[in-house]
Amino acid sequence: MRLFILIDDEFKLPFMKNFTAIILLLSLFSCKKENNGNDNYFLDFRPRECEFLFVVSGEKFHLTSPEGIKYVDYQAYPRDGYDDALNLFLAIHTHNLNVDSIINAEGGKLPYFNPGIHEGITNPIPDLETQIELNYRKKSASSSGDLKSALDYTAMIEMEYRIDGVRNFKISALDKLFDQEPGTSLNEYFKIIRYDPDFIASSDTHNLLYGFSDKDKPEDIDEWLNLSPLAPALMYVAFREVPDDLPESIRFVVEMETDKGKVLRDTSQVIQFHR
């Protein structure tokens, strides 16, 4: 069982369901006076060890708000499959919670992330948290009013991070793809399109390597690995290009080894493509 499996056709990941609402809030807040760095929120840090890895596929698409703001929205796996493989993404989520306990607690519906969950919070990394907070507030203070995150106007912002480093990471498929045999690394054929939270920290020094305002974060998986990063709470990857040998259906496998020697692995649901 996997944390990201969609149990019924109506269910979507919570942040995906609310993304459009957040965009609308942005337009409302753009009419208000700028925050100017006022401390009207705080970051609620959630450090966790990596005990589980979960994979789900989804679809990204480009939209424009009524105010003309262009943005990318994400939705959970479309049950009727994908028309364009370039819109496919794999959401890779790490956590410390037992999947069965989450299933029981949620009555069969598994969230991508429940902001109320504090179970399993482990020893923090104070220096890193200081850097994250300073960088987040700097980004927030420097943003113009119409670009501020709607979250900046709330009292609490959940800030998940992992204390385990990543030493090896591999995406493979259960079928032949890109003319590569099943089980062969497909890292070079994927790119990283999103980090959530949007920063990269070193597992060696616990320094912040890329912050919230950095637009040039690594897209290449090997480049990211060479940073000896702390594991992401959530990371999205997508095809660089559509493979010529794309089958009608496929399952992907994601494997991650931590700096503590743990090997975490999960297999996606069957992904359908329209041919």
What does the block give as tokens for 130?
Answer: 């200081």
259 pLDDT more than 90: yes
149 pLDDT more than 60: no
Write the DSSP assignment of 160-221 as a string of letters: EEESSBEEEEEEEESS-BTTB-TTS--GGGEEEEEEESS-EEBTTT--EEE-TT-S----SH
- Residue 150: alpha-carbon gap to chain centroid: 19
Q: Which of 21-35, 139-153, 237-251, 254-268 has the lowest mean pLDDT?
A: 21-35
Domain boundaries, the chain: 14-272
34 pLDDT more than 70: no
Specify the pTM. 0.77
User: Do residues 171 and 186 make contact, with C-beta atoms less than 8 angstroms apart?
Assistant: yes
266 pLDDT more than 90: yes
Span 194-227, pLDDT tens digits: 999 999 999 999 999 999 989 899 999 999 999 9
The proportion of the chain whose per-residue pLDDT surpasses 70, expressed as a percent, equals 72
Span 8-17, pLDDT tens digits: 333 334 334 3
Residue 100: predicted pLDDT: 54
